[in-house]
Amino acid sequence: MPTTRTHTRTDTGLAAELRISVMRLARRLRLQRADPSLSDTQLAALGAIERNGSMTPGELAEHEKVQPPSMTRVISALEENGLIARTSHPTDRRQVLLALTEKGSALLGEIRRRRTAWLARRLRELTPEERATLRAAVPILEKLSRAGGEANKTSS
């Protein structure tokens, strides 16, 4: 098997190594949560409501790319935990809107704080040169994360 240095000389090799590293880091960050009883899907739904504001259950399911019956279970669990609340839709009485509660907002804040603290501890283990390299890479990683075109066309 080629070494990482040899493997990353090609764009495809770099893509493979970067994908693996980013996925491992994301997995480790996901473990830093304030409430281990919540699933990744539930946390993603909370985050979507926080970013987008009040949403209907259908909008949330579409946003999260899950089937409405699956989202119904997610919504029920979040509501039972007091993390979201249903309110009447202002223009369509047949619809409800889902909004983050103070408890839901506080939970997301705590999760972010834990994840940032965990990553800050890992960064302190690096050399100043390694941290400088990461600082320079952040805008590039952000650019990659916003790139469009082929989203959802291939598996990880």
Task: Determine the pLDDT at residue 93.
Answer: 86
If we measure between CA atoms, which residue out of 109, 114, 91, 105 comes closest to residue 49?
Answer: 105
Chain-centre distance for alpha carbon 99? 18
Give 27-37 pLDDT, tens digit per residue.
999 888 878 88
Q: Is pLDDT larger for residue 85 or for residue 32?
A: 85
For the chain, how far is it from start to end, CA to CA, in angstroms?
Answer: 20
- For the chain, list the domains and their CATH numbers: 11-144 (1.10.10.10)
What integer is the mean pLDDT of 2-27? 84
What integer is the mean pLDDT of 4-17? 80
What integer is the mean pLDDT of 14-21? 94
Average pLDDT, rounded, for the chain? 90
**Cα–Cα distance list, 111 to 11, 38, 66, 106, 124 (Å):** 34, 11, 23, 9, 20
What percentage of the chain carries pLDDT values higher than 90? Answer: 78
Task: Determine the pLDDT at residue 113.
Answer: 95
Give 51-68 pLDDT, tens digit per residue.
999 999 999 999 999 999
